[in-house]
Each structure stands twice: as C-alpha cells, then as structure tokens.
Amino acid sequence: MYLQMPKLNDFERVSLLEGPTPIQRLTRLEQCVDGRCALFVKRDDLTGLGGGGNKLRKLEFLLGQARAEGKDTLITVGARQSNHARLTAASAAAVGFHAELVLTRTVAKSDDDYLYNGNPLLDNLFGATIHDLPGDADALAFAEQRARELAGRALVIPAGGSSAIGMLGYASCAEEIVHQEVAMGRYFDKVVVANGSHGTQAGLVAGFKALGHSGSKVQGYTVLSPLAEACSNTLAKAQQVAALLGSDVTASDILIDDSELGPGYGIETASMKAALSLMARRQGLLLDPVYSGKAFAGLLAAINAGKYDGQTLLFVMTGGTPGLFAYRQALA
C-alpha cells in the first residue's frame, strides 16, 4: 500500500478546493438501519465554489490543461440541469475565463422549474453563454464547431468532465481518502458513489489501484446508463486514468448496481425521495434528486438487506443541491 501517487504531480492543476473535504459520521442515520454498519460521508458537496460538488475536482485538472494549452474559454455539454455545466461556469468565472454551455433537453421535463430554475439560473448568474439545444442534438459536435469558430481559444470538455485528465481529480480524491483513513485509524470497506458519466467512479478506482488497493473498494450506482454499458464504459475510463498513473485496472475492479436507475436519467423515483427525506430529517444534509439521492437509496436498500453488516462505509456526497429547486413539483 502507498500513500502518494507521484505521477499526479506531472499534471497542471488550478486549485479550486480549500483542502481535503471532511469525512463525517452519520450517527443519527445509523440508528435508522439498526446500527448494522458504521456509516460515514465524504463531503464533496462542501467544495467551496459555485454551490459545490464533485465536478470541481475534475475542473482543477481541466483548467490546468486549458491554461497549459493557452486557452481562455471552456466549452462543455450536458443536460439542462447539468451540475457539471454550472461548475464549469463558476470555475471559468473564478479564473477569468469565459464558459459556453451546450445544454440539451434530453430529460423529458418541460416545466419552468426544470427548464429555468436550479442550475440554469446559476449558469446565467456566472455569466456563461448558454446554447439551448433539443434533446436529440449532437451536443459534442456543436461544441467542437464552436471551438473551431473560436480559433483555438477554447478547450472542449466532454460530458461530466470525464476526460482522462479530468478524472485525475478523483484519483487524487482516492489519495485524500487513504490519508484520511490513516489519520482516523479506520479503513473503509466500501466507498459508495453515483455513476453518471462514469468519471467519478473511474477516477476513484484508478486512484485506489495506483495506491495498491482493490478497485472493488468502490461501489457505483448507475443513474444514467444501463448496467452493461455503465460497466464497460467505466472500465474503459478507469483504464484511461490508470494509463496516466502507470497503474492497471481490470473488469473485476468495477462494481456497479443498477437497482436505482428507475424509469431513467433525471426521472424521480419513490426510493430517491425517501432517501432525500431521511438524510434531511435525520442529519440535516442535502442529497440531490438525480445522482446522490438515487445512489444513497441504493445504499440504504443494500444495508437493510444485510449486505454490509458489521462493515464501515463511506458515501461520497457529490453535491447537486441546486437540482432540488428544479424538482420542486416532484418533491412537494
């Protein structure tokens, strides 16, 4: 086992986090699951820019890449309520870049809260240019075309910031967790996380592997892709990060559950709503309706089924709270 990933220092990075995010114990929630396991959260929702969330870890490396390549504009793609797009806009504002967001209407919701509240409201506040595209548009092709028009000034960031460079942010988070394990004198049997564009899980897996742990220390819950696709894409992405770190990832390192996908991406489920409400009422903490709410619902179901009896678990709170305001009708 190692404590450092020296190769991470080979990559440019712009500091957006204030330091390690806290790990906190959910003592009142543990009582609701009959003390079956010790339950902790990694507060990546507390990253201090633009409302916070997991994407800032990726954006540290993506901004480093953009600076190294002499760019001054970030272009990215996502759904209308993309947290990644919002944090791209905030990060660009923080360093004096411009952001262009190519947002598609992929989720079948057309009420005003979904279309204009939450993330898009903040995108506008951060001064980003928004391109509003229909659900079937090729957002990445549109982004590449805009980059050509800007004649080399723009870095195009794929969905969720999950390029090989972006995902280094979560390899770095794995290093942070290992340091916190040592400091706390506790070892997490599982690190549980939502899987959307796959990069958070892929980065964690590649990071833990580079530090001599098993990738199966990470349990993902897919909220976007069907199971087989989520597994193969996450493996491919983890291998991309591993190649940058000089480590190695195989299929047995990728654990993904699809039990909380429900009717599809961005569509609410009863178990997500119950998980949001339990976390809010027992701990005063906010999950989001699209990602962490579904993943936490899956974790609760697994705990209640006895899957983790006697174990110590770490759930990564990935942010996304502006999305709550977009789901006002569903959560009322």
Q: Name the segment binding ligand PLP (CB under 6 A); options: 68-76, 113-121, 173-181, 284-292.
A: 284-292
- Burial degree of 88 (CB within 10 A; 0-12, 13-18, 19+): buried
Residue tagged 């690190």 (tokens): 191
Residue type, 80: R
Give, in order, the Cα–Cα distances in Å from 257 to each of 30, 31, 108, 272: 22, 25, 24, 15
Residue tagged 């770095």 (tokens): 172
Residue with smaller CB distance to ligand PLP, 42 or 198 = 198
Binding residue for ligand PLP, selected from 231, 285, 318, 326, defined by CB under 6 A: 318
Active site residues: 82
Number of residues that bind ligand PLP (CB under 6 A): 19
The answer to whether residue 237 forms part of the interface with ligand PLP (CB under 6 A) is no
Binding residue for ligand PLP, selected from 50, 51, 52, 53, defined by CB under 6 A: 53
d(CA 303, CA 307): 6
Residue with smaller CB distance to ligand PLP, 36 or 279 = 279
Binding residue for ligand PLP, selected from 83, 119, 163, 271, defined by CB under 6 A: 83
d(CA 221, CA 223): 6
The answer to whether residue 291 forms part of the interface with ligand PLP (CB under 6 A) is yes
The answer to whether residue 233 forms part of the interface with ligand PLP (CB under 6 A) is no
Residue with smaller CB distance to ligand PLP, 36 or 321 = 321
Q: Name the segment binding ligand PLP (CB under 6 A); options: 134-142, 189-197, 207-215, 252-260.
A: 189-197
For residue 70, how many other CB atoms are within 10 A of its CB?
A: 9
The answer to whether residue 197 forms part of the interface with ligand PLP (CB under 6 A) is yes
The answer to whether residue 199 forms part of the interface with ligand PLP (CB under 6 A) is yes
d(CA 38, CA 47): 24
Q: Name the segment binding ligand PLP (CB under 6 A); options: 88-96, 116-124, 272-280, 285-293.
A: 285-293
Question: Are 120 and 80 a contacting pair, CB within 8 Å?
Answer: yes
SS3 16: coil
> Which DSSP string do the residues of 65-104 spell out, in sequence order?
HHHHTT--EEEEEEETT-HHHHHHHHHHHHHT-EEEEEEE
Summarize as ranges the residues that interact with ligand PLP (CB under 6 A): 53-54, 83-84, 160, 162, 194-200, 288, 291-292, 318-320
